[in-house]
A and B are shown apart, each in its own frame.
Chain A
């Protein structure tokens, strides 16, 4: 397990480097000149040159790349081109909002999706299974922002149960949670659908495995066969896709933050795109990519914990 973990952790370094390089390239490939975007169309040539020099855009590409990596290593993400606030400070403000939303949606998805997947698998082709399949199909088909708008309309506008926008007062936990309910539902119910379908099919596969028959032939109770033998095995593929689902979840959270007017990475990114704030945009992309890599790392380490074939592989 230790060997596996070390190898897996070391593997993230080249992966991180590749992803960061891609961010660097994409930002530079984007149309438009950052300096011109900042100074507007009436800028003088001298002004543009001066700004480019200040931003380091006059340096050769390889030097820019090395500076980009070096700055990242030192945790320096630059200064917003628009308001001069260091990007790190902006991220420090918005990141918790995005994390609380995506993590709580994921937790909801696991807590609902896994039991529902097991339940429908055990009642295969009966009414509970059919309705579960229909509901989860709707769940994975519906865009999260649309579900968000729907929830807002029903629970906030018509029933007046939840706030319409914002993320709650800072430092007031109750208020934060109160504001978190609907956004979490709009992301989490979709996660529930994904996880439920995955759990169901994985469980059905495992229930047909030979070792489940062996467990039954030992005279074990149905309950022990299902939970000790089948369920633990069914969990392996589910855990391995949770990382991917979390990343889908992270992507959907961008729209959800906008629908609910919540501060967060997504909102910051969209704003930066609108205003052509390349420095912020580049940083947000770096954060998303890094999060994705670390989520996958985390999932792989958990995977190693439950599957001895990896632990002792």
Chain B
């Protein structure tokens, strides 16, 4: 493994066995996160982004879910092979996670400071008092005014933005090497979003951590990520650095996503509306044979209906899953 690689997910398959049938929520995911870099994971709701993240943390609810295949290599060890006790030592310590819903992600009965201190005293073996002092320090780092006072408050006494800062403080409290942020700003209003993203970037630099950023917001990706994996229906369809994705998206789905962003410098004529991708995401219970995107793709041809295209490297560092760009 190369030295600059922090985490490598190889051929991850996470399935859910529901009453309605089998759902392949993550269907052969390969991603690589480099040290100190941010990888963006983009896709529509239900495409398997969060499942991928929770699989890395090994927090998939089992049953109904199960990681059936794959490897998650972190620091030369396969996380999927670790004992639960060893995995607990990594969770919250070396890999931490921020969730989408700051309003519900904190325990309403515990003071915010204690919720942060809990992780610190668990992983760093310091006294409760030192852990609490560190928690206050973390609250200050994430820009919460009056951190001492806020540490004694309960989550319901804080706004959504404040709570997300508390979550970030908690996630960073043990100097993790990787921070997984699952739609960290989706539930916040736009001005707070920008603050939280700037804060994450700043702290990433300060702590030298990597970020796996999950979002459906390409604007957030442009601000934060160095490389991007575009997911569709449980599979990665395009994987490239952020510059090339924005300059020259190649997968018809990526192209569609780019076209559906309103542009500041382009006036939309009055009779035209914003471009969208026609149709809806196929049901994961009942995927089409061949390429999963074919029904919504205006460039689909015969080959697309026959086999799922493989993920191939069409130019150095640019992976693509589409028949349009050749058959290997």
As a 0/1 sequence over residues 29 to 61 of chain B, the CB contacts with chain A under 8 angstroms (1 = contact) are: 000000000000000000000000000010100
CA of A26 to CA of B89, assembled, Å = 66
Return B31 CB to nearest CB of chain A, in Å: 19
Pairwise interchain contact A312-B157, C-beta atoms closer than 8 A: yes
Q: How many A-B residue pairs have CB under 8 A?
A: 71
Interface residues of A in 219-242 (CB under 8 A from B): 219-221, 229, 232-233
Partner of B93, one of A214, A215, A216, A219: A219
Q: Mark B83-100, 1 if CB is under 8 A from A, else 0.
A: 000001111110011010
Residues A218 and B106 in contact in the complex (CB < 8 Å), given A312-B154, A312-B157: no
Find the residue from A211, A219, A308 having the highest chain B CB count within 10 A.
Answer: A219
Of the residues A213, A220, A306, A308, contact of B122 by C-beta under 8 Å: A220
- Please tell me which one of the listed residues B88, B106, B122 contacts residue A214 in the complex, with CB atoms under 8 A apart: B106
- With contacts A218-B119, A219-B122 known, is A307 near B92, CB below 8 A? no
Chain A CB within 8 A of B260 CB? no
Q: Is the CB of A211 within 8 A of B59?
A: no
B-contact 0/1 string along A101-130, CB 8 Å cutoff: 000000000000000000000000000000
Q: Does A160 contact B (CB under 8 A)?
A: no
User: Do residues B96 and A217 form an inter-chain contact, with CB atoms below 8 A?
Assistant: yes
Q: Which of A217, A218, A306, A308 contacts B156 (CB 8 A)?
A: A308
**Contacting residues, chain A, for B159 (C-beta < 8 A):** none
- Taken residue by residue from 80 to 98, chain A's Cβ proximity to chain B (1 for < 8 Å, 0 otherwise) reads as 0000000000000000000
Asked whether, in the complex, the Cβ of A219 is within 8 Å of the Cβ of B108, the reply is: no
Complex CA–CA separation, A220 to B170 (angstroms): 13
In angstroms, Cα B122 to Cα A233, docked, is 22
B123 CB–A CB distance under 8 Å: yes
Question: On chain B, which size bracket covers the interface?
Answer: 20 to 34
Task: Give the residue of B89, B105, B106, B157 whose beta carbon is less than 8 angstroms from that of A219.
Answer: B89
Cα distance A217–B123 when bound, in Å? 12
Residue of B nearest to A125 (CB): B63
A215 CA / B88 CA spacing, docked (Å): 11
**CB-defined contacts of B170 to chain A, threshold 8 Å:** 214, 218
Q: Mark B70-112, 1 if CB is under 8 A from A, else 0.
A: 0000000000000000001111110011010100111111100
Residue of A218, A221, A229 with highest tally of chain B CB at under 10 A: A218
A218, B99: Cβ atoms under 8 Å? no
Partner of A308, one of B105, B119, B154: B154
B214 interface contact, C-beta 8 A: no
Q: Which single residue of chain B is at the shortest CB-CB distance from A232?
A: B109
- Would you call B108 and A217 a contact (CB within 8 A)? no
Bound-state Cα–Cα, A216 to B101, Å: 16
Q: Of B101, B108, B122, which one neighbours A218 at CB under 8 angstroms?
A: B122
Contact (A220, B118) CB under 8 Å given A308-B154, A309-B154, A312-B154? yes
The A276-313 residues at the B interface (CB cut-off 8 A) are 306-309, 312
Q: Which residues of A196-218 are within 8 A (CB) of B? A: 209-211, 213-218
Q: For B96, list chain A residues within 8 Å (CB).
A: 217-218
Q: Indicate if the CB atoms of A309 and B156 lie closer than 8 Å.
A: yes
Q: How far is the CB of A256 from chain B (nearest CB, A)?
A: 36
Are B91 and A219 touching (Cβ within 8 A)? yes
Q: B214 to chain A: closest CB distance in Å?
A: 14
Q: Is the CB of B88 within 8 A of A233?
A: no
B168: Cβ under 8 A from any A Cβ: no
**B325: shortest Cβ distance to chain A, in Å?**
38
Contact B106 A211 (CB under 8 A): yes
Minimum Cβ distance to chain A for residue B97 (Å)? 4
Question: Assuming A219-B92, A308-B154, is B108 touching A214 (CB within 8 A)?
Answer: no
* Pick from A216, A306, A307, A308: contact of B59, CB under 8 Å: A216
CB atoms of B109 and A307 under 8 A apart: yes
Q: How far is A209 from B96 in the complex, measured between Cα atoms in Å?
A: 18
Closest Cβ of chain B: how far from A93's Cβ, in Å? 44
Q: How far is the CA of A259 from the CA of B132 in the complex (A)?
A: 58
A63 to B57, CA, bound (A): 74
Contacts of A217 in B (CB 8 A): 57, 59, 91-92, 96-97, 99
Specify the chain A residue showing the minimal Cβ separation from B90.
A219
Chain B nearest CB, measured from A226 CB (Å): 13
CA distance A232 to B157 in the complex (A): 19
Tell me which residues across on chain A come within 8 A of B97, comparing CB atoms. Answer: 214, 217
Is B167 in the interface zone, CB < 8 Å from A? Answer: yes
Residues of A within 8 A of B105 (CB): 210-211, 213-214
How far is it, in angstroms, between the C-alpha of A209 and the C-alpha of B108 when the chains are bound?
11
Q: In the complex, what residues of A have CB within 8 A of residue B110's CB?
A: 229
Query: How far apart sit A144 and B59, CA to CA, in the bound complex (Å)?
Result: 44
Q: Let me know if A213 and B123 touch, CB within 8 A.
A: no
Of A211, A219, A221, A306, the residue contacting B107 (CB under 8 A) is: A211
A213-B99, A308-B156 as given contacts; A219 in contact with B59, CB under 8 Å? no
Known contacts A213-B59, A309-B154, A312-B154: A219-B123 contact under CB 8 Å: yes
CA distance A309 to B167 in the complex (A): 19
Residues A233 and B101 in contact, CB atoms below 8 Å apart: no
> Which residue of chain A has its CB nearest to the CB of B154?
A308
Task: Closest B residue to A217 by CB, please name it.
Answer: B97
- Residues in chain A near residue B119, CB distance under 8 A: 218-220
Cα–Cα, bound, A219→B119 (Å):
7
Contacts of B92 in A (CB 8 A): 217-220
Cβ–Cβ < 8 Å partners of A307 in chain B? 108-109
Q: Supply 14 further A-B pairs (C-beta < 8 A) apart from A214-B99, A218-B118, A229-B110.
A: A210-B99, A210-B105, A211-B107, A213-B59, A214-B105, A216-B59, A217-B57, A217-B91, A217-B99, A218-B170, A219-B88, A233-B108, A233-B109, A307-B109
13 residue pairs from A and B, CB less than 8 Å apart:
A211-B108, A216-B59, A216-B91, A217-B91, A217-B96, A218-B119, A219-B91, A220-B92, A220-B118, A229-B107, A232-B109, A233-B108, A308-B156
